[in-house]
A and B are shown apart, each in its own frame.
Chain A
Amino acid sequence: MTKLLRLGFFAIVIRTLMVLVLGLNVRGREKLPAKGPAIILANHNSHLDTLSLMSLFPLSSLDSIKPVAALDYFLSSKPFAWFALNIIGILPINRKGGGNPLAGSIEALQNGDILILFPEGSRGLPEEMSEFKRGAELLCKMNPQVPVYPAFMHGLGKALPKGTWLLVPFILDIFIGEPFTYQDVGKKFMTRLQDDVQALADQGNFPAWE
């Protein structure tokens, strides 16, 4: 039942939202992996970032796409937690409790899943990139052969920024970059990632948003 709800949610609600209400302009969609294990690393502007990235994959692979999200934020209220875990299908990480917070992610990669991570941590100021944190690097270091896909997103910070629930339609740009692995780049991982995402951002011609 929940599975059906989830499929319906992505097939109808999310498709309509992404294609008709907002509109997607995707570059490099063909680069996205058909199968895991893989890690997608993107900048973070809005609640809808996760859903918009997930909408780029075919519905048949929905079960293997796992957005990694902080447990404490998403599990703050019961209905919200149910929605996040069962409908969106997040992979919760525990930032505060004991144990290895990355254990769940490593297991998912071993199962051949595709993880979505936002190395900026929080959504921050809309349409401004903040510095990437080390958590993502750590995960990649522990899985050095898993390909990493840099992604840049623009538009959702205008459509649905932090602190508001009023959705104002804007076309959403998603640029996917060339994949690389931790093994390829080693210690320069963070610089490489940040440079790649910045290079993708520079491809766009975005109007001012003051």
Chain B
Amino acid sequence: MTLAGMAAWFNVAQPVLITVLAIYGLLIIASLITWWLNVRSGGKLAELTARVKSWWVMITVFALAVFISQGLSAIFLGLISYLALKEYFSMIPTRRVDRSVLFWAYLAVPIQYWWAYTDWYGMFVVFIPVWMFLFTPVAMVLLGETKGFLRAVGTMSWGQMMMVFALSHTAHLLYSGDKIETPAGGAGLLLFLVFCTQFNDVMQYVWGKLTGKHKIVPTVSPNKTWQGFIGGLLSTMLLSFLIAPYLTPMSGLVAALAGGMIALSGFLGDITLSALKRDLGAKDTGALIPGHGGILDRVDSLTIAAPVFVHFMRYFYY
């Protein structure tokens, strides 16, 4: 089958298919390197091996969710928000009396992704910051318990903003992107954002391991170094420069700058969630993904990178 035939069969733009195949190519290289390092160290890199294995699963699930059908993608992205929110609610102190309010917070996930799916931007952008923000505290007031009220309102609103609102920008990109002049539609934009964000995470880690020396925020995340951050930033700018012309309306210098913006905001999302974990005394947010931790450990960068990229795109290209 030709590439064009395959792309038509999956009902995706050809650049999207080629990018996914290229990601698998990178993954094969990463697997071979990990395998070689593991053999050389006498099998001491079990966690790294598990991590690379999990990448195979995650990329395949993501690719299938984007490829199979538009509706399925919304469900898949919504599920990520749901799992992240659940990890968050399981980590933080909560009040017994708020069980029903927590239940409503979970219900906000499918509703928010419905606005994204139907591309109702006005509702998408106010539902959580306005309606949920105002009426979550009201629901708590009506339950009549004032002890710990402010803390409960604060933690619950922040959780909904980060895990539901911020992450749902991925779905917004997918469903609104088809309206604009872009070579590979919404799927191309989403793939570009997710690829750059995750690539930056990996590159930051690799550069940090190889050359890391000067810590950036030692009190929050002792593994983050300037060398890792800058290595990741430059790598992601290069990646973006190379792939943006095929997946997005950007090219040249703008593409490289957008990659840098994703790298920076991804880094900020990462350390923001690290601060949360540190505050709560937790190492990982869960144990869902072997070698990575919880789902929130994997999508933490997207909490800031997704909204920043979406609003950058909206400002310049919508």
| Chain A residues close to B by CB (< 8 Å) | 20, 22-23, 25, 126, 155, 158, 164, 166, 168-171, 205, 207-210
Chain B window 81-112, contacts with chain A (Cβ cutoff 8 Å), 1 for yes, 0 for no: 00100110111111110011011001000000
Q: Do most interface residues of chain B lie in helix, strand or loop, or is the interface mixed? A: helix
Q: Is the CB of A209 within 8 A of B86?
A: no
Neighbouring A residues of B87 by C-beta, 8 Å: 23, 171
B-side contacts of A207, CB under 8 Å: 90-94, 280
B286 touches A25 (CB 8 A): yes
- How distant is the Cα of A169 from the Cα of B95 in the complex, in angstroms? 14
User: Does residue B148 face the partner (Cβ distance < 8 Å to A)?
Assistant: yes
B86:A205 contact, CB within 8 angstroms: no
Write out the residue numbers on chain A whose beta carbons fall within 8 Å of the beta carbon of B287.
25
Q: B253 — which chain A residues lie within 8 A by C-beta?
A: none
In the complex, whether B218 has a CB less than 8 A from a CB of chain A is no
Interface centre among A22, A171, A208, A209 (most CB of B within 10 A): A171
Contact B90 A171 (CB under 8 A): yes
In contact, A23 and B288 (Cβ under 8 angstroms): yes
The smallest C-beta distance from A52 to any residue of chain B, in angstroms, reads 14
Residue among B83, B106, B282, B287 with max Cβ neighbours from chain A (10 Å) = B287
CA distance A160 to B87 in the complex (A): 17
Report the separation of the CA atoms of residues A170 and B282 in the bound assembly, to the nearest whole angstrom: 16
Give Cα A23–Cα B296 distance, bound, in whole angstroms.
13
B residues in contact with A168, CB < 8 Å: 99-100, 102-103, 106
Can you name the residue of chain B whose Cβ is closest to the Cβ of A169? B86
* In contact, A166 and B286 (Cβ under 8 angstroms): no
B-side contacts of A170, CB under 8 Å:
86, 89-90
Query: Would you give the 0/1 interface string for B130-146, flagging 1 where the beta carbon is closer than 8 Å to chain A?
Result: 00000000000000000
A-B contact pairs, 27 of them (CB 8 A): A23-B86, A23-B90, A23-B286, A23-B288, A155-B90, A158-B96, A166-B99, A166-B100, A168-B106, A169-B86, A169-B106, A170-B86, A170-B89, A171-B90, A205-B280, A205-B281, A205-B282, A207-B91, A207-B92, A207-B94, A207-B280, A209-B94, A209-B95, A210-B93, A210-B96, A210-B147, A210-B148
- How many chain B residues touch A (CB < 8 A): the figure is 25
**Nearest opposing residue in chain A for B147, CB measure:** A210
- Knowing that A126-B96, A168-B103 are A-B contacts, what are 15 other residue pairs whose CB atoms are under 8 Å apart, sorted by A's residue number? A20-B79, A23-B286, A23-B288, A158-B99, A168-B102, A168-B106, A169-B89, A170-B89, A171-B86, A171-B90, A205-B280, A207-B92, A207-B93, A207-B94, A209-B94
**Leading 7 A-B pairs by shortest Cβ distance:** A208-B93, A171-B90, A207-B93, A25-B287, A168-B99, A170-B90, A168-B103
Contact among B83, B96, B102, B103 for A23, CB-based, below 8 A: B83
> For A155, what are the chain B residues with a Cβ–Cβ distance below 8 Å?
90
B46 to chain A: closest CB distance in Å? Answer: 15
In the docked arrangement, what's the CA distance between A155 and B87, Å? Answer: 12
CA–CA, A158 and B94, complex, Å = 9
CA distance A20 to B286 in the complex (A): 13
List which B255-289 residues lie within 8 A (CB) of chain A. Answer: 280-282, 286-288
Query: B101: nearest residue on chain A (CB-CB)?
Result: A168
Question: What residues on B are CB-neighbors of A158 within 8 Å?
Answer: 94, 96, 99
Expressed in whole angstroms, the Cα–Cα distance for A13 and B183 within the complex equals 42
Q: How far is the CB of B282 from chain A (nearest CB, A)?
A: 6
Alpha-carbon distance A81/B169, docked complex (angstroms): 48
